[in-house]
Copies of this chain bind each other. A is one copy, B any other.
Amino acid sequence: MRYAITVEYDGTRYSGWQRQLNAVSVQEVLEDALGAFLGEKTVLHASGRTDRGVHAAGQVAHFDTECTIPPHKIRFAVNSALPDDVRIVDMRHVGDGFHAQYDVVSKTYSYKIYVGNTLSPLRRLYYTRVLPPLDTDAMRRAAAKLVGTHDFRAFCSTGSSAKTSVRTLYEVNVETDGDEVVLTVTGNGFLYNMVRIIAGTLVFIGKGKIPEENVDLMLSTGERKLGGKTFPACALTLEKVEYPD
């Protein structure tokens, strides 16, 4: 039987989603806890990797098991065995044809920024800090240029193995609440570091370090150098993965 699980994790102390030899990954602690309870080697297939330090509120993965214990009982037992920075928040039976990576319809990431002169101890784990002032209207105008189907190779770090760099973004929102700015990006897929480069580029535009038009140029020329820095991982959260109904 195939199950899909939705996983929330605090990525602070992990090397990322994907299992590695010399570092602790989220996949490893989950596969080990599931495997120990189910009494069989368990392999998780996620919607995609998340990088070192990136968080997830709604990562999705699937696995197969012979076990017939009801899923809510498996979930409860496995959660009890997991460290407190990883939890299975949902577990459901899916058809054998379901694939957590290939069936993705869209993914939504958030990127959290606070604007201040001082590092904020209470936000240091989940936000990145930007010095004031920040022109969020300019960021919004630039964000709107990203929506649609484009070649996003200028928004990709080297080392990506993707076959094509064409992706579709359905929404790029810039929301402000007091001294906090949250970017929310929804798309059909993302290149390596894509959201962190979008965040860095929008912030550079908001700081007046590069003109808004650089976004158009990045999309037309593919030049990574026209953008802002790749912003820190700790402010990035995989919020949601959507599949066909």
Q: Which A residues fall within an 8 A CB radius of B?
A: 8-10, 55, 57, 79, 84-89, 118-122, 124-126, 237
Contacts A9-B121, A84-B121, A89-B120 known; 15 new A-B pairs at CB < 8 A = A8-B118, A8-B121, A9-B122, A10-B121, A10-B122, A55-B122, A57-B122, A79-B119, A84-B124, A85-B121, A85-B124, A87-B118, A87-B120, A87-B121, A122-B237
Query: Given the interface contacts A84-B124, A124-B84, A125-B125, does A118 sit within 8 Å of B9 by beta carbon?
Result: no
**Within 8 Å CB of A121, what residues of B?**
8-10, 84-87
Nearest Cβ in chain B — how far from A122, in angstroms?
Answer: 6
**Within 8 Å CB of A8, what residues of B?**
118, 120-122
**Within 8 Å CB of A122, what residues of B?**
8-10, 55, 57, 126, 237
Complex Cα spacing A57 to B121, Å: 9
Complex Cα spacing A120 to B9, Å: 8
Residue of B whose beta carbon sits closest to that of A84: B124
User: Are B79 and A124 within 8 A (Cβ)?
Assistant: no
- The 8 A-B residue pairs with the shortest CB-CB distance, nearest first, are A10-B121, A85-B121, A89-B118, A8-B121, A87-B118, A9-B121, A87-B121, A10-B122
User: Are B88 and A124 within 8 A (Cβ)?
Assistant: no
Of the listed residues A57, A87, A121, A237, the one surrounded by the most CB atoms of chain B closer than 10 A to its CB is: A121
Q: A118: which of B55, B79, B124 is its contact (CB, 8 Å)?
A: B79
Q: A87: which of B84, B85, B119, B125 is its contact (CB, 8 Å)?
A: B119
**Within 8 Å CB of A55, what residues of B?**
122
Residue of B whose beta carbon sits closest to that of A116: B89
Residue of B whose beta carbon sits closest to that of A57: B122
